[in-house]
Amino acid sequence: MPHWFNNACYPGTGQSRSEVTNPATGEVTAHLALADQADVDAVVAAAAAAFPAWRDTSLANRTRILFAFRELLNARSAELAAIITAEHGKVLSDALGEVSRGQEVVEFACGMPHLLKGAFSENASTQVDVHSVRQPLGVVGIISPFNFPAMVPMWFFPIAIAAGNTVVVKPSEKVPTAALWIAELWKEAGLPAGVFNVLNGDKVAVDGLLTHPDVASVSFVGSTPIARYVYETGTAHGKRVQALGGAKNHMLVLPDADLDLAADQAVNAGYGSAGERCMAISAVVAVGDIGDELVAKIKQRTIGLRTGDGTRGCDMGPLVTAAARHRVAGYIDAGEAAGAELVVDGRAVQADADGAGFFVGPTLFDHVTTEMSIYTDEIFGPVLSVLRVDSYADGVRLINANPYGNGTAIFTNDGGAARRFGNEVEVGMIGINVPVPVPMAYYSFGGWKSSLFGDSHAHGAEGVHFFTRAKVITSRWLDPSHGGLNLGFPQNT
């Protein structure tokens, strides 16, 4: 499987290959060419060559192509969803949901002419006008994780392209086909060669982008250690960097909450996409004496879930690789050994699939404590932990003590408690009776603390800001009454 630049596939010169698998069957479905430095240089050179003409393409013509892309994606979203299910494993309905959340960013970016409007001050000083513009950066790199092969790159590239940048996407090597399919769609939509490019690879490709003199910015999404590395390396090489990292998301359930709603949402947000979402709920924090009743309700829902091949109408699919399966099963072993109560054990799940897929069934632990590795670590699998605290204040303290700050949710019918939670909790995205509070495209997505490095969140106003830089232009058109020398510092008169 190749790279893509100048609106065509490019086999590359790199000799390394990695295997792409179908996680539901365990079959190897493709071998992916991993970039070497020459491949990085070739793809970046194509993007750099395309930049001047794309930057100077009118807003009307740029957004016309975005609208065409939107229409094509709407018509063919099922194809993209099938690709995602075949490489990631998530069930088809979930894959379609992913595509539609990415599509929202395309729709937001279709409004770029409005979003790029600057300010104008007439006569700021006598007969001196001032106006501001925002201009594109140049070649921008986008490095994405395996868990959202379409949506995460789409958090960035529609805005980057609409703003006049040219793009190099480096997809996760586990799920490369979605980005190549999207590249074909851009071509069909009329995007000029070199504006959207795909560089497949591993650390070599990432390092190549982070250090390349012609790459202006890097948008990264992945695990926290790599996000920190990307931020430090990219900024050390003079780049603008936004690096979104891992997560450990808590759901605080107050005694007055509707426990059936809370149990439904804990199951949806804990096991959806097999827990491989950065906004998955992994820790349910039960306040007061509701623990037993809440756990019983979650258990009853959990044991009814069907795990299997995502194309067969199951509730939950496999994990992405055999290594991920092994890691998640290891955490379940560790939780049991540490003394947590294993209420539902997914290790021996009977999956509805052919072959040797990478399945772990929905797993529920109760009486989890903050020292256990099933609490401290991001498991990124279908493992839900219930912790118990005495009070709202203890719950907030527990959440704020966690190094991650991506998403969190409170379940309550008390408006005052919900409002206080929104004010006090040190997390970037908060749900009130909503378990996966992923903001709409016209707001910005991003966490706090170890969940994001850099100061710009993704999409919304912050996305537009990230992919553009500001200029302020002060102008005077002389009339015959002005002139003469004055060497003093200019003052406004």
The answer to whether 463 contacts ligand NAD (rule: CB under 6 A) is no
Q: Which of 199, 278, 283, 364 binds ligand NAD (CB under 6 A)?
A: 278
Selected binder of ligand NAD within 93, 100, 223, 321 (CB under 6 A)? 223
Write the DSSP symbol of residue 459: S
Q: Among the options 9, 110, 278, 314, which is catalytic?
A: 278
Query: Which region among 1-9, 25-33, 198-206, 435-443 touches ligand NAD (by CB under 6 A)?
Result: 198-206
Using the contact rule CB under 6 A, the part of the chain among 166-174, 291-299, 331-339, 463-471 near ligand NAD is: 166-174
Q: Which is nearer to ligand NAD, 298 or 452 (CB)?
A: 452
The answer to whether 359 and 318 have CB atoms below 8 angstroms apart is: yes
Inter-residue contact 435 to 409 (CB < 8 Å)? yes
Residues 476 and 145: their CA atoms lie apart, in Å, by 50
CA distance 391 to 381: 28
Asked if 69 contacts 189 with a C-beta cutoff of 8 angstroms, the reply is yes
- Report the residue closest to ligand NAD, judged by CB: 222
- Applying CB under 6 A, which part among 82-90, 199-207, 363-371, 473-481 lies near ligand NAD? 199-207
Burial readout 391-408 (b: 16 or more C-beta within 10 A, e: otherwise): ebeebbebbeebebbbbb
Number of residues that bind ligand NAD (CB under 6 A): 27
444 binds ligand NAD (CB under 6 A): no
Phi, psi for 176 (deg, rounded to 5): -80, -15
Binding ligand NAD (rule: CB under 6 A), the pick from 66, 81, 105, 244 is 244
Q: Is residue 203 a contact point for ligand NAD (CB under 6 A)?
A: yes
Nearer to ligand NAD, 145 or 431 (CB): 145
Instruction: Find the shortest distance in angstroms from Cβ 452 to ligand NAD.
Output: 7
Site mask for ligand NAD (CB under 6 A), range 336-375, x = bound:
----------------------------------------
Q: Which of 346, 437, 447, 463 binds ligand NAD (CB under 6 A)?
A: 447
Examine residue 226 and tell whether it contacts ligand NAD (CB under 6 A): yes
Residue 205 Cβ vs ligand NAD, minimum distance, rounded to whole Å = 7
Which of 248, 352, 331, 253 shows the shortest CA–CA distance to 297?
253
Nearer to ligand NAD, 190 or 225 (CB): 225
CA distances in angstroms from 355 to 261, 308, 359, listed in the order given? 36, 11, 11
CB of 484 to ligand NAD, least distance (A): 58
Query: Which region, left, alpha or beta, applies to residue 238 given φ > 0 means left and ψ of -120 to 50 means alpha?
Result: left
Q: Does 206 bind ligand NAD (CB under 6 A)?
A: yes
The separation between the first and the last C-alpha atoms of the chain, rounded to the nearest angstrom, is 64
Closest CA to 264 of 301, 238, 292: 301
Whether the Cβ atoms of residue 364 and residue 384 lie closer than 8 Å to each other: yes
CA dist 76 and 83 (Å) reads 12
- Give the shortest CB-310-to-ligand NAD separation in angstroms: 18
Largest CA distance in the chain: 88
Structure tokens at 340: 């947590």
Site for ligand NAD in 40-79 (CB under 6 A): none
Beta partners for 475?
Answer: 129
Q: Which of 66, 105, 140, 152 binds ligand NAD (CB under 6 A)?
A: 152
Question: How is 376-388 classified by DSSP, letter by letter?
Answer: HS---SSEEEEEE
Indicate if 9 belongs to the active site: no
Q: List contacts with ligand NAD (CB under 6 A).
A: 143-148, 152, 170, 172-173, 202-203, 206, 221-223, 226, 244-247, 278, 378, 380, 406, 447, 451
The residues assigned a catalytic role are: 278
